[in-house]
Amino acid sequence: MNFIKPSRRTVLQAGGALAASAALPRFAFADDMPPIGTWPAGSQGSSVTIGAAVPLTGTYAAQGADELKGWQLAVEHLNSGDELIRATSPKTTKGVLGKEVKIVYADSAAKPAQAVQAQGKFISDDKIVLMTGSTSSAVAVATNHFAQREHVLYFCGISGSNDTTGKDCVRYGFRQDFYGQTAAAAIGPVLIKAFGKNRKAAYMTPDYTYGHTVTKAMNDYLTSQGGWTMVTNQVSPLGAPDYSNYVTNIGNTDAEFLINVNWGHDAVLSTQQAKQFGLLNKMKLVVPYQIPFLAKELGAETTQGVYAATDFWWTLEDQNPLAKQFVEKFQAKFGYRPEWGAESAYTSIALWADGVERAGTFYPPAVIKALEAGNHNNTMVGDCYIRAADHQLVRPVIIVQGKKPSDMKNPEDYWQVLEVVPGAPLMQAPDAFGCKLGDYT
């Protein structure tokens, strides 16, 4: 039998290696907090990182850029311990649990595969402790499932689909924006009150989860509560270069309302072309889920009188001191008044920071439990809390109406806030869309 005899050098090397490993900092994991996802690796240093996958190209590029600014401001405010973020996350001092917060981001082009790929890279390279970003519900839904698989928390960005915290909800995913269903329940009564019952509506719907669920929610509400009828539903792909064929079909109906569910640049282009084809002379435009920059791009001549549901509009500064602070600080930094994508992004980060501070650890299951605790947070739209059963923020819906050009007090004064409708009474039961959150570990 031959034994391999270790040489003196090998023995010395092995001994050295052992000594070195003993000198490394040892992390004692409590037995109830075993490593999971990027924990504890992501929070062992003096800083933690957030990964954002956001559309900076494509149909949703303008909205994505606005959203990104919201995250950047929130991160800056966390690190400086700004009073605005401390209003929502009262335990915050500087950073999160004393650690500096960094943000890395990549362009998702609003494509689910590209977004998930970017987040995967952030998880392996940057050991991110939180994922954020979407602007498309298709991205939000895909990242939800990715978050559950990777055990990394995800606060989606802009997402209005019923699926995000409905049938595609996950334990590791949270949403700040309301359901499309909630938007419909908020704007539906306003439309019926303003225009009466038994009206005819044509819908324009982008062909993915957001479009289908919002159109269904609007139509269900208006049909059951107001006797409205859907005379046509023009479903188009995301980023269609021309809407003339869809608009022509609508022109051949006797619709009295054009309910445009398209989003981003698609909403701009489809509305412009509806106008070019003379449709807006014979039917009223309704935008169930308001779109950042829509009025700016279309002009107030087109959006005057239009009803929309939205998460935030900057004139809320007249009603809420936090909104006022946010608008001032955002404008000072970026040179324009924030749209709701930026507000939504900022609030998401503040809610997450509050969850971590209350948990006292970055250990994801503990943070999730802290977020599920029903804690009430003061935000720019008032008191809000996360529903434990579907991880949906219960928050008000803002109903706005487009101002006439002559009523605008400054170049960004496009919408008038009509109502701030409390969210809780509008919302369906948490399991109405089949939400099953899944496991903590």
Residue with tokens 């590029």: 61
State in angstroms the smallest separation of the CB of 272 from another protein: 6
Using the rule CB under 8 A, is 246 a contact of another protein?
A: yes
* CA-wise closest residue to 204 among 193, 195, 214: 214
Q: Are 68 and 132 in contact (CB under 8 A)?
A: no
In this chain, which stretch among 54-62, 121-129, 360-368, 371-379 interacts with another protein, using CB under 8 A? 54-62
Of 193-232, binders to another protein (CB under 8 A) are 207, 231-232
- Among 101, 110, 105, 107, smallest CA distance to 129 is for 101
Among 13, 44, 229, 245, binds another protein (CB under 8 A): 245
Give the interface size with another protein as a residue count (CB under 8 A): 38
Tell how many helices (H) and how many strands (E) occur in the chain.
15, 15
Nearest to 210 by CA among 189, 190, 188, 236: 236
Check residue 431 and report its DSSP letter.
Answer: T
- Shortest Å, Cβ 333 to another protein: 17
Contact 162, 180 (CB under 8 A): yes
331 binds another protein (CB under 8 A): no
Q: For residue 234, state whether it binds another protein (rule: CB under 8 A).
A: yes
* Secondary structure (3-state) at 134: coil
Return the range that interacts with another protein (CB under 8 A); candidates 1-9, 185-193, 237-245, 378-386.
Answer: 237-245
In sequence order, the β-bridge partners of residue 50 are 103, 130
Tell me the window of 21-29, 139-147, 264-272, 341-349 that interacts with another protein (CB under 8 A): 264-272
**Residues 348, 393: Cα–Cα separation, whole Å:** 10
Burial of 98 (0-12, 13-18, 19+ CB in 10 A): exposed
User: Judged by CB under 8 A, does residue 57 bind another protein?
Assistant: yes
Name the residue nearer to another protein (CB basis): 87 or 255: 255
d(CA 310, CA 325): 19
237 binds another protein (CB under 8 A): yes
Return d(Cα 183, Cα 179) in angstroms, integer: 6
Least spacing, CB of residue 337 vs another protein, in Å: 14
The correct pick among 77, 265, 284, 387 for binding another protein (CB under 8 A) is: 265
Selected range binding another protein among 55-63, 93-101, 321-329, 346-354, rule: CB under 8 A: 55-63
In whole angstroms, the minimum distance from the beta carbon of 423 to another protein comes to: 30
Amino acid at 345: A
In Å, what is the CA distance from 140 to each residue of 131, 389, 436? 11, 18, 16
Q: Given candidates 115, 153, 214, 268, which one binds another protein under the rule CB under 8 A?
A: 268
Looking at the Cβ atoms of 58 and 364, the one nearer to another protein is 58
Nearest distance in Å: CB 232, another protein: 7
Q: Which residues bind another protein (CB under 8 A)?
A: 56-59, 61-62, 65, 207, 231-237, 239-242, 244-246, 248-249, 251-253, 265, 268-269, 272-273, 276-278, 293, 296-297
